[in-house]
Amino acid sequence: MKNFYFKIMSTFLFVFLLMGCAESDPMEFQVEKPFSIAFQEELNSLETLKNYVKDASFKLGAGTSMDSYNSKGSMFGLANSNFQELTAGYGMKHGAVVQADGSLNLEAVETFMENTQAEGLTVYGHTLVWHANQNAEFLNSTIAPVVIPSETGSAWDPITMIDFETEGGTGYQSNGPNAVLSFTADGEGANGEGKALIVTNSEVRLNEWESQIFVTFDKVTEVGQEYKLEMDIRADSEAAINTQAQTAPGGYKHYNFFGTLSATPEWKSVAVEITIDDNTSGCNTIAFNLGSTATNYYFDNIIVSWFNESGGEITVEKTPEEKRDTLTYQLDKWISGIMDISKANVHAWDVVNEPMDDGNPYGLKTGINKDDIASDEFYWQDYLGKDYGVDAFKMAAMYGNSDDLLFINDYNLEYNLDKCRGLIEYVKYIEENGARVDGIGTQMHIDVNSDKSNITKMLNLLAATGKIIKISELDIGVGVQTSDANEELYNAQAEMYKFVFDQYFEIIPKDRQYGITIWSPLDSPDNSSWRAGEPIGLWTQGFTRKRAYQGVVNGLETANTN
């Protein structure tokens, strides 16, 4: 009996324990998730960014490495899913494309255009004219002094060399409407190469010197010196050309300088050597008399030399005009080349980038008297003057699509409002000189502590121009490195992203809104050349969405309610 009761009590105790275990099973409890996990799940449940863009005319863009996109890795997928337009960080700039010999390597750019177009993304052209990221070594070589060595104790030293490849060059001019200057097409110069100068004398003149061109050189002739004139020449009709010695264009001294030259319908090379006497001393100009025959004259490859008995070598410094002409040619070559290869998928260009001086916000940047010029810096404005922007916009309008939007772009406009005003004044100058500027880009590399009132003031200044406005390179730091960032700072970052979007949509008229480009979609790596180690992105380096992503979504949704 004792064993019986023991067995019964043991059985009840076992069942009780089983029931107790069943009631305490943790699977039966509803445990609340930590806020961070719940919030991350909420972030991950959001749609991709471009799905929040409801206005078809607004472009949500991203900056990216052209190489990383072309390799079709993780950034390729992220960009295609979230953005409508891409800006190449470096790959479409002068330094990346122009080679040591001045040729353009456009293979990677062409691939970028094909890949983005296939994925339904457009490309924002960045950038045509800038002082940084240039092949400065090549550009400087084109305007360097010409050093001519001699292998003997004496040598012919050129003092002017004119090949007429750049129209509007220096070292020659006509004496007025009786000698009309123009140029052949490329390939119609002497020996079927390059260009040649055409001088048209439309009728026989009473005096042959009533139709003249002048060739000048820096060195003034002295008695006893030997000079040589070499050139290629022809004319539509046979003609004799007398040469005069002059002290300056129009400053006649003697009727004979290098004798009489003959021109025929076929190109021929001439070389005339003379010794300077009293009649031809003190001169630096050859006048060619063209008035005796009504015809078109063609001149090419003019070289004037003097015999340097001391030998050695001579350094010929290029004049400011020669440098300007050379660089205008190089700028034209660069802009025409990059725009032509990009036409199919670029319909907006950053034509002039960062022109304004931080210390002198109403003036242009300059490399003059700057001690720390980087190896990739080249200041076009120091050689082409204030009109470098005028030239660039005219070239962009010439070589792009007819519907391309042409922008000027700068940074710190929200930090320095005078710089913003200076940029606006420069836009007016460019347009007053015959070029078209469609829009203004503001970069906005800011942080959570940036002055919000200044951001509002800047956008109001830009809106008042009536131009199309683009936030071209938006990224927002938190004031510390990624390793030191916390939830509070990330919340402030998300709020600042939303604030920028809200202000843009509120202040910029709807028909003047081009779009906003997120310059760094991912947080910046420690070894980056841009804001190294800063958590500026909408995603972590591991492609995890951040609170900033939510800030952009909220900003885009604000636009949809306006």
Instruction: Supply the CATH number for residue 210's domain.
Output: 2.60.120.260
489-508 per-position pLDDT tens digit: 999 999 999 999 999 999 99
Determine the angle formed by the axes of helices 452-463 and 417-432, rounding to 10 degrees: 10
Nearest to 417 by CA among 453, 386, 364: 453
**3-state secondary structure at position 261:** strand
In a domain, 217, yes or no: yes
**3-state secondary structure at position 3:** helix
pLDDT at site 20:
39
In a domain, 180, yes or no: yes
Q: Are 102 and 330 in contact (CB under 8 A)?
A: yes
260-299 per-position pLDDT tens digit: 999 999 999 999 999 999 999 999 999 999 999 999 999 9
In a domain, 361, yes or no: no
Q: Is the pLDDT of residue 193 over 90?
A: yes
Please state the rounded mean pLDDT for residues 326-336: 96
In a domain, 488, yes or no: no
Whole-number Å distance between alpha carbons of 25 and 366:
75
Domain range for 283: 147-317
**pTM score, whole prediction:** 0.69
H or E element in which residue 227 lies: strand 226-235
Token pair belonging to 282: 């003190």
**3-state secondary structure at position 533:** coil
Please state the rounded mean pLDDT for residues 447-475: 98
In a domain, 399, yes or no: no
Stated length of the chain: 562
In a domain, 230, yes or no: yes
pLDDT at site 533:
92
Please state the rounded mean pLDDT for residues 351-374: 95
Token pair belonging to 378: 């080249």
Residue 505 CA: distances (Å) to CA of 52, 416, 459: 14, 22, 10
Confidence tier at 101 by pLDDT (50, 70, 90): very high
Residue 175 CA: distances (Å) to CA of 394, 506, 530, 539: 30, 60, 56, 67
Domain count, the chain: 1
pLDDT at site 149:
66
> Is the sign of the CA dihedral 79, 80, 83, 87 positive or negative?
positive
DSSP string, 272-295: EEEE--TTTTT--EEEEE-TTS-E
Confidence tier at 3 by pLDDT (50, 70, 90): very low
Confidence tier at 34 by pLDDT (50, 70, 90): low
Please state the rounded mean pLDDT for residues 194-213: 97
Beta strands (DSSP E) in 172-225 are 172-174, 180-183, 197-201, 212-216
In a domain, 301, yes or no: yes
In a domain, 160, yes or no: yes
